[in-house]
Structure 1
Amino acid sequence: RLDGEDVVVLVGSPRDDVDESVAALVRSLAVGIPLVVLVLAGLVWVLVGRTLRPVEAIRAEVSEIGGGDLHRRVPAPGGDDEVARLARTMNTMLDRLEDASERQQAFVADASHELRSPLTRIRSELEVDLAHPEQADPVATGHSVLEEVAGLQALVDDLLVLARVDAGPDRARVAGAPVDLADVLIEEVHRLPAGGPPVATGEVGTGAVRGDRGQLARIVRNLLENAVRHARAEVVTGLTADGGVVTLTVVDDGPGIPADRADEVFERFVRLDDARARRDGGTGLGLAIARELAQRHGGRLELDPDRGPGAAFVLTLPAG
């Protein structure tokens, strides 16, 4: 108030400085924001590239691995992050693929050799008879060829069984209906050809298991045929059930199996006495098939070195 009257004081200032400051700020933001975005994008690109570099190395290595390069492995970075675990998983998968490829190649090579041998013998006999017809004995040649054909048929049957087993899921448990293993044992004993060593069914109790009856019969048949082939005078079998486990034993009184070769008898195409096995019709696949089928049923097939006097095979299966 001035002299009792209200006075209004107006203060003014030029806006040029304010406008210039706002314009400068806008210019700074217009330049700074894109620059910051570019810097952040560059940092993200570098960090992501560095993070994904091991993944790209894995992808590049896998893309170069062909059917014949399964021995190669992807680079595995250190640490325990997702990329390291991915690399280890890929290498584990490659290990399995390489093992499967090697087993397949060995199987094909062994099968080719086993099939070629009897065919060569058949061809040789026929060529000799054709070259010297005056000395040929058609009946003897016919019997010899029939024996070779029977051996070929047995080998092909075993190869088909192995092919079906290998085609299934790895170590998949075979599901099936309850099967009395005692009935299977008695049936397979009765199916053995006459003229061989007698098979004594010793202690035979109830042996209910679950699985495929045909495959279980194949296990028992292979064990019996192997025992009869090597027995001198007799074969003794036994079947017991105890503690949720069914145990089948097949014991022969033959020459037995050396302890240092106990695991070899379960390998494919292995014959400890090659000449005798071929003469007696062995394919070298029976025990391998039996063990594979036993494992598919959740069981085990082992050689018991403490029983005798010959070889003693013990089959254990979960009771069903």
Structure 2
Amino acid sequence: MLGERAGQGGAQTVLVAVSLAEVQRGTALARTAVLVGVPVLLLVIALLVRRVSASALRPVERLRRGAEQVVAGSAQPQALPVPAADDEVAALARTLNEMLARLEASSLAAARLRGRRRPRACAARWPACAPSLEVALQVPGDTAAWREVAEGALVDVGRTTALVEDLLLLARSGAGAVPASDVDLGALAHERAGAGHRVPVRVEAEPGVVVRMAPTLAGRVVDNLLDNACRHAASEVLVRVHRDGLRAVLEVVDDGPGVAEADRERVFERFTRLDDARDREAGGTGLGLAIVRSVVGRLGGTVQALARADGGAGARFVVVLRAVTGPIG
């Protein structure tokens, strides 16, 4: 309530009053606006900040996903995405791509260097025939001894020649320098089975199982698997060729002692010969299965040493390659 004097000499007083109910309603409205409006405003601000932050960090998230794909091997080493905006994140992406490219180049150069050194290192592990001839020089005039040593030297020369040929084949298959064509695996298996082996070779082949590879390499794959199986077989070797969807499958099964589970990867390493193989007079160079894995792996296929599917004694080598789906030619 307010009072103000009026009239002559201020003899009268004018009083002005306002109801408290109006004031209380105004205060209540202000309190409600503060209690409701401020949280809503804060929520809107938080959503805006989150949206702006997500938009700003989206290029960083793309970089992270690209790095995950590179680490997992599903993308090229220089595949990190570069944002369209020319900012600090784009500069970081370009720098990382350059670093990955240099690392990839260094890795390839190191692999090529190892590939050039490996044949010389492998050849150094194989004995030559010179010691046998030096022994023969100590017994001049003994025709029988000379003949025995000469025969042994011929065997050594044959083994050395086979070794060199296998090493050259490994180098050519690794370089991809042999032209490819369509090869019928069933026909090839029948052809190689009649090459005169220590034990009979039986072939069960579906017609029209065709793969794309160099015929010489295909023949060497089948020959090496057959030689290995016949060397260990007790009575027979079975070759199966069939198609599994888009895959061509070649199986070579023997009834020998088999391959222990612990050795099923080691047999594909160069110069690996298990104990029972070392005791045989007719041994290979130790490169046969390594050549098979190199050739098949170069074509994107796989080769495995497994137990026989029927549970019997022996080993089963399974080669899986991509089959040709179109017409042969």
* TM-score, reference length from structure 2: 0.63
What is aligned with 1:283?
Answer: 285
Q: Does 1:155 align with 2:159?
A: no
Structure 1 unaligned segments of length 5 or more: list them.
1-77
Q: Does 1:164 align with 2:167?
A: no
Deviations 1:208-257 (A, max 9, x none): 22222221111111110111111122211111123122211001122221
Contact 1:178 1:210 in 2 (8 A): yes
Distance (whole Å) between structure 2 residues aligned to residue 103 and residue 277 of structure 1 = 31
Distance (whole Å) between structure 1 residues aligned to residue 215 and residue 169 of structure 2 = 14
SS at match of 2:307: coil
How far did 1:300 drift? 1.8
Distance (whole Å) between structure 2 residues aligned to residue 107 and residue 159 of structure 1 = 6
Aligned mate of 1:216, from 212, 215, 218: 218
Distance (whole Å) between structure 2 residues aligned to residue 80 and residue 278 of structure 1 = 61
Q: Does 1:113 align with 2:125?
A: yes
| Within-5 A mapping of 1:196-215 | 196-215=198-217
Aligned mate of 2:140, from 119, 125, 133: 133
**Residue identity opposite 2:96 in structure 1:** A
Q: Which has the higher contact order (CA 8 A, sep 6+)?
A: 1
Aligned mate of 1:144, from 126, 144, 152: 152
Taking a change above 3 Å as real, the CA distance of residues 150 and 274 of structure 1, as seen in their structure-2 partners, is farther
Contact 1:240 1:246 in 2 (8 A): yes
How far did 1:81 drift? 2.6
**Residue identity opposite 1:151 in structure 2:** R
Distance (whole Å) between structure 2 residues aligned to residue 278 and residue 160 of structure 1 = 25
Taking a change above 3 Å as real, the CA distance of residues 100 and 270 of structure 1, as seen in their structure-2 partners, is farther
Deviations 1:119-167 (A, max 9, x none): 2xx3333222221235552332222122111111111111111121233
SS at match of 1:270: coil
* TM-score, reference length from structure 1: 0.65
Taking a change above 3 Å as real, the CA distance of residues 286 and 91 of structure 1, as seen in their structure-2 partners, is same
| Within-5 A mapping of 1:221-260 | 221-260=223-262
Aligned residues with identical type, % of pairs: 36
Contact 1:151 1:281 in 2 (8 A): no
Matched length: 232
| Within-5 A mapping of 1:41-80 | 80=92
How far did 1:177 drift? 3.2
**Residue identity opposite 2:243 in structure 1:** A
Q: Does 1:81 align with 2:83?
A: no
Taking a change above 3 Å as real, the CA distance of residues 313 and 108 of structure 1, as seen in their structure-2 partners, is same
Taking a change above 3 Å as real, the CA distance of residues 104 and 265 of structure 1, as seen in their structure-2 partners, is farther
Contact 1:271 1:277 in 2 (8 A): no
Aligned mate of 1:190, from 169, 194, 218: 194
SS at match of 2:194: helix
Contact 2:300 2:321 in 1 (8 A): yes
**Residue identity opposite 2:239 in structure 1:** T
Contact 1:184 1:217 in 2 (8 A): yes
**RMSD of the alignment, in Å?**
2.6
Contact 1:248 1:316 in 2 (8 A): yes
Based on CA coordinates, which of the two structures has the bigger radius of gyration?
2
Distance (whole Å) between structure 2 residues aligned to residue 277 and residue 226 of structure 1 = 14
Contact 1:179 1:208 in 2 (8 A): yes
Distance (whole Å) between structure 1 residues aligned to residue 304 and residue 157 of structure 2 = 31
Distance (whole Å) between structure 1 residues aligned to residue 206 and residue 147 of structure 2 = 44
